[in-house]
A = this chain, B = another copy of it.
Amino acid sequence: MNKFTPATNKFAPAKPAGARSVDEITGSRRLRRMRKADWSRRLVQENQLSVNDLIWPIFVVEGRQVREPIAAMPGVYRLSVDLAVKEAERAAKLGIPALATFPNVELSLRDETGSHILDPENVINRATRAIKDAVPEIGIITDAALDPFTSHGHDGILRDGIIVNDESVEQVTAAAVIQAAAGADIIAPSDMMDGRIGAIRDALDTNGFQDVAIMSYATKFSSAFYGPYREAVGTAGLLKGDKKTYYIDHANSD
């Protein structure tokens, strides 16, 4: 019957008396029907991933013509602003709607409070201006995050070994306004301080950036998946202790 059953089939499973055929088992519901051809798969598929669903992340560093490989993310590079602009042009040509930029700040510019994030001339704000100038039709998402700017690699302001909530919110809020002034379309805070979204919204509206949006990161757990990102932004070596969001001795990183 089954002409494919080879001679090496040393084991013949007992056929039950009322053994059912595939048609009996499935009641003629053969779900492979609509998967059989390209046209029928296209006709019935419910989701279609397109270029409109993509955001292009760019890691930015100081310098010119810099293109540093990131070991943990093969094929991904840290780029200087001039090359980041080329990348943005490539993304626009592909129809990708938006970029998300992340800085890798020189260690000498990092301090306790991440104050360099407030410098309108820092690498992220310069990248925003250069990209907006060259590729106005692409959206720019900036990471309003302190961790690439702090000497301890945590995403907030530390006092007595504790990440203090309200001062961290003030610092992130000020950074958000500066990034919006540089041309950012969407501000993406990555800390988890209480009240940051409302504070950023208030500050953006008052400073005339009502059209700048805020993009919330999803809840972040203490996950090993953040390792490559830490290498990319250069905080991997700075963090001490474990990575949990806490108050005492250690602070919450990303």
Residue positions of A touching B, CB distance < 8 A: 2-16, 19-23, 25-26, 28-43, 45, 48, 50, 52, 55, 95, 97-98, 111-113, 115-116, 118-120, 137-139, 157, 159, 164-167, 169-171, 173-174, 177-178, 181, 185, 192-195, 198-199, 201-203, 205-207, 210-213, 244-248, 252
Q: Are B52 and A48 in contact (CB under 8 A)?
A: yes
The complex places the Cα of A100 from the Cα of B127 at a distance, in Å, of 49
- What are 26 A-to-B residue pairs whose CB atoms are below 8 Å? A3-B167, A4-B113, A4-B164, A5-B113, A8-B116, A11-B120, A11-B177, A11-B181, A14-B207, A16-B205, A16-B206, A19-B202, A20-B198, A22-B195, A26-B194, A28-B201, A28-B202, A28-B205, A34-B213, A36-B246, A37-B137, A39-B138, A40-B185, A41-B244, A43-B52, A43-B97
Counted per complex, copies of this chain come to 8
The complex places the Cα of A47 from the Cα of B194 at a distance, in Å, of 23
Q: Are B246 and A174 in contact (CB under 8 A)?
A: no
Residue of B nearest to A157 (CB): B4
The complex places the Cα of A246 from the Cα of B38 at a distance, in Å, of 8
With contacts A11-B120, A193-B32, A194-B22 known, is A5 near B50, CB below 8 A?
no
